[in-house]
Amino acid sequence: MKHRLFLLASIVGLLTYGGLAAASAATTSHAPASHAKKFCVARAESAGSSAVPTMTCYSTFAASIRAATSGRISLPASARPGSVTPDQLNAGPAVPNTTYVLSIDWADTNFTGPSLAWEQTSKCGTFQASSMPTGWNDVVESVETFSGCANTLYENINFGGTTFSIGKDSSASTLGSFNDKTSSEKWCTAKPCG
């Protein structure tokens, strides 16, 4: 009898633990930033590069945009994520050593959650990221494109698998069935980027 009670208590304990773990996983954001610095910037590479992008993260969205534009754009510190417009990003004088935002990836739908702003030293051309920066693989759920760029997201690293394309200076508030599947990206002047 004691053996059966022990077995029953063990099963109940495992079920309770499993339920708590599942509930914890369900409430934990899949966001890449588990710390206060959740607004990141990475440089898109020139076509043909296989370099893994590195990124720098900031505690405010405004700070990430300031960094992504080499200080050319200074949003108010209270600027909400997802509130920046193409006119704002394309404004300001073109100064030497400036950078431009090609697109912003968002960890959640409707341009919310942690962000990853992709930048380059010129407005749209042919750029790529053969893999995502650390913490951003299979995370993206919405995207905005800027600087005359279209954007194609790939399911696998090195541009393999299914794709999702966003038009030039456009946005997708959700990627639908492609949510949480991006492993590499390309930028070009007209979709789809190939």
100-141: pLDDT as tens digits: 999 999 999 999 999 999 999 988 999 999 999 999 999 999
- Residues with Cβ within 8 Å of residue 54, at least 6 apart in sequence: 42, 43, 133
Residues forming a β-bridge with 46: 127
Q: Are residues 54 and 13 in the same domain?
A: no
Domain holding 6, by residue range, is 1-30
pTM of the model: 0.80
Tell me the pLDDT tens digit for each residue of 146-167. 999 999 999 999 999 999 999 9
Q: Is residue 39 part of a domain?
A: yes
Which long-range contacts (C-beta less than 8 Å, at least 24 apart) are formed by 118-121? Answer: 118/41, 118/42, 118/43, 118/44, 118/185, 118/187, 119/41, 119/42, 119/43, 119/44, 119/68, 119/69, 120/43, 120/44, 120/187, 121/97
Q: Are residues 20 and 90 in the same domain?
A: no
What band does 22 get if pLDDT is binned at 50, 70 and 90?
very low
Q: How many domains does one find in the chain?
A: 2
166 vs 83, higher pLDDT: 166
Tell me: pLDDT of 48 over 50. Answer: yes
